[in-house]
């Protein structure tokens, strides 16, 4: 329970509440990915490790859905544009990183990959004490 609640709080504070709202089962998918993430760096073909690849693709699809939704719904001319947190992108760090990636010509697919990598790193760092 603590692991689930703490992970959700960390995800919401960093990436906004919409990532959870539009992706039922997001936290469960995160922890499923956490257990297999290391095996993806082995470089084995997909057909040899279909389960880890599927879990990675599921979580990446969820982060892509989040990025697409954030860009569709965030008002860059509204008061949220200068806020420290908003429900679409979450923290100012996440929002400004998304803007930097967009201005740099990166696709939403690439931005979703960056979000996934950031999610994995930041949340894992935030939760290392409760995982033991």
Q: Is the pLDDT at 65 greater than 60, yes or no?
A: yes
pLDDT value at residue 122: 77
**Per-residue pLDDT band at 86 (split at 50, 70, 90):** very high
pLDDT value at residue 63: 97
Write down the residue that tokens 């990183």 correspond to. Answer: 97
pLDDT value at residue 127: 55
Task: Identify whether the C-beta of residue 22 lies closer than 8 Å to the C-beta of residue 67.
Answer: no
CA atoms of 56 and 30, how far apart (whole Å) = 9
Q: Is the pLDDT at 53 greater than 60, yes or no?
A: yes
Task: Summarize pLDDT for 103-123 with one digit per residue, the tens.
Answer: 999 999 999 999 999 988 777
Task: Summarize pLDDT for 2-11 with one digit per residue, the tens.
Answer: 778 888 999 9
CA atoms of 107 and 109, how far apart (whole Å) = 5
Half-sphere exposure of 64 (CA within 13 A, CB side): 12
Write phi, then psi, for 71 (nearest 5 degrees): -70, -35
pTM above 0.85, yes or no: yes
Sign, CA torsion 111/116/118/119: positive
pLDDT value at residue 124: 65
């Amino acid at each position: 329970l603590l692991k689930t609640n703490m992970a959700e709080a960390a995800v919401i504070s960093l990436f906004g509440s919409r990532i959870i709202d539009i992706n039922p089962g997001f936290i469960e998918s995160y922890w499923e990915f956490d257990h297999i993430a290391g095996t993806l760096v082995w470089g084995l073909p997909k057909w040899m490790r279909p389960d880890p690849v599927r879990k990675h693709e599921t979580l990446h699809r969820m982060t892509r859905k989040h990025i697409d939704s954030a860009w569709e719904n965030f008002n860059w001319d509204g008061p949220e544009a200068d806020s420290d947190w908003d429900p679409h992108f979450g923290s100012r760090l996440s929002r400004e990183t998304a803007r930097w990636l967009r201005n740099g010509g990166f696709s939403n697919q690439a931005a979703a990959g960056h979000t996934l990598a950031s999610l994995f790193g930041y949340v894992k760092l935030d939760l290392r004490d409760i995982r033991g």
